[in-house]
Structure 1
C-alpha cells in the first residue's frame, strides 16, 4: 500500500474517503532571459504567453492552487490547471503577472520570507537572480495571486533538524500572513523533496495543502505532484505532458 501523509488513525469515513484523478499542476520558476540557465528554471515571457494561449485554446483555465483544490473537493474543476511559480523571483511581477492578467488566469506564488530582496544563493552554478521584496509580494497579492510559503530560506526539509524544520514551515507561514494580511494555505517543498516527517510538519503548521514534484510513495493533499514546464515546452510537448501526467500519477486522496 502506498504511504499517506495523513497519520491519524483511520476511521470508517476515512477509509471510504474518495480519491480522484490527479490535478494537472504546472511548475514554473523564473520568467525572463534564458541565456544563462543551467538549471532550466527560466522561460521567456514570449514562451510563457504561448503556453498560456495553448491552455486557453483548449478550454483550460489556469488558476491558483486554492481555487483548483476547492473546485476538486466538490467534484468539479476538471478543466482547471494549477499554475505555480516557485522561489518568488522579482521578474514574476514584471513579466509573468501581466501575462496572467491578459489571459484572465490565476496562479500561486511560493516565496521565501527569509530572503526578501535577496537572490537564489542556493543555486551554486548561478546565475544570481533577484527575489521579490516585501513590496513586490504585496503587489502580487493585491493583484489576486495566491501567496504560499516555500520555506524561509530554501533548505532541504528532509535534512533539517527539528528547530530548522519548525522555522522553515511554521515561522515562514506566520511571516507571510503578517506581510500580506491574507491567509497562507499552501506550502511548496524546496527542491521538491519531502518525507513523512516534513509532510507532517506542514500539516501540523496549519497549511491546507503542499506541493512537491514527484512525491514518490506519499499521497494526498500534502504531497501533490507537479509537472515542470520549461522553455522548450511547445504545443506538442505540453499536450504530451498533460496527457501523461494523469496516466503516470495515482489518484489523489481527498479529491473527487
Structure 2
C-alpha cells in the first residue's frame, strides 16, 4: 500500500516514498523473484492458479506524482499497479489531511494518462470521506457514483474500490457489493473477509530491504482472506 511518490521531507502521515526508495523497493522485489502487478491482474492470475510470485501494488488517493514519478519506475521494473483515484477532487489536493503538506491530485487528463500507461485506475470514493460515518445517501453516492465517474474518465470498466482511511464495516461492504465492484482494498479489515475486504501492507520511506522482509514474513498471512470456494491469495498479496 503506497500513497505519494515524492520528496518525503515533510510527511507527518508517513505516506510519502521518494522515487529512489521506490526504485530500491521494486529492485528488492525482483531480486526475490517477485513482480508487482495491478490488483485486477493479480486477482485474475489467482483465479487461474497462476498467482505465485506476484505482488499487488496499490497507490491510494491518486496523487499527481503517481504519473510523474511512480509510473516511469514501474515501467522500468516491468511492473504495473492500481491507482485509486478521487473523481470528486480531480485537480485538487489532499484537503482531508489537516497537517499537510498539500499534495496535488491527478486531474482528468492525468487519470486518463495513468490508464493509457497500462495502470489499473480504480475508485477511492468521490471525496475521501470515512464511509463508516456517512449517511446512506452519501454512502451510495461515494461508492456508486465514483465508479461511474472513473469509468467515464477512462472508458473502461471499474472493478476495484479502496475504502478511504481503510475503514469498512458490513454496511459499507454491502454498498460496495451493490455497486458492482469485483474487489475492494482495506488495510486491516478485522472480521470482514472475502474479495471485498482485502488487507494490505503499508510501505513507507523507512522500509529498507530488512524491513520489507519482516513485513513480508509477519504481514503475509493476512493476505489469505478469501472465503472457501475462492482461490487463496499468495502471501504478501498487496503492498
Q: Same fold (TM over 0.5)?
A: yes
Please state whether the residue corresponding to 1:101 is helix, strand or coil: helix
Query: Across the two proteins, how many residue pairs are aligned to each other?
Result: 230
Question: How does the TM-score come out when normalised to structure 1?
Answer: 0.88
Please state whether the residue corresponding to 1:110 is helix, strand or coil: strand
Match of 1:110 in 2: 84
CA–CA distance in structure 1, aligned partners of residues 220 and 6 of structure 2: 29
Match of 2:179 in 1: 205
- Inter-CA distance 84–248: structure 2 relative to 1 (3 Å threshold): closer
Match of 1:172 in 2: 146
Runs of 5+ consecutive residues of structure 1 not aligned to the other structure: 1-26
Confirm whether residue 129 of structure 1 aligns to residue 103 of structure 2.
yes
CA–CA distance in structure 2, aligned partners of residues 236 and 250 of structure 1: 23
Confirm whether residue 255 of structure 1 aligns to residue 231 of structure 2.
yes
Write out aligned runs for 1:227-242 (5 A).
227-242=201-216
CA–CA distance in structure 2, aligned partners of residues 145 and 105 of structure 1: 9
Write out aligned runs for 1:30-69 (5 A).
30-69=4-43
Deviation, structure 1 residue 252: 2.1
Write out aligned runs for 1:5-84 (5 A).
27-84=1-58
Match of 2:123 in 1: 149
Confirm whether residue 91 of structure 1 aligns to residue 65 of structure 2.
yes
Please state whether the residue corresponding to 1:109 is helix, strand or coil: strand
Deviations 1:93-132 (A, max 9, x none): 1110000000000100000000000000000101100000
Deviation, structure 1 residue 72: 1.0
Task: Specify which structure has the bigger relative contact order, considering alpha-carbon pairs within 8 angstroms and separated by 6 or more residues.
Answer: 1
- Asked if the contact 2:161/2:185 (under 8 Å) is kept, the reply is yes
What's the Cα RMSD here?
0.9
Deviation, structure 1 residue 243: 1.5
Higher mean C-alpha displacement, 70-79 vs 58-67 = 70-79
Match of 2:136 in 1: 162
Please state whether the residue corresponding to 2:7 is helix, strand or coil: coil
CA–CA distance in structure 1, aligned partners of residues 225 and 162 of structure 2: 20
CA–CA distance in structure 1, aligned partners of residues 119 and 225 of structure 2: 27
Runs of 5+ consecutive residues of structure 2 not aligned to the other structure: 233-239
Match of 2:235 in 1: none
CA–CA distance in structure 2, aligned partners of residues 185 and 250 of structure 1: 20
Please state whether the residue corresponding to 1:241 is helix, strand or coil: helix
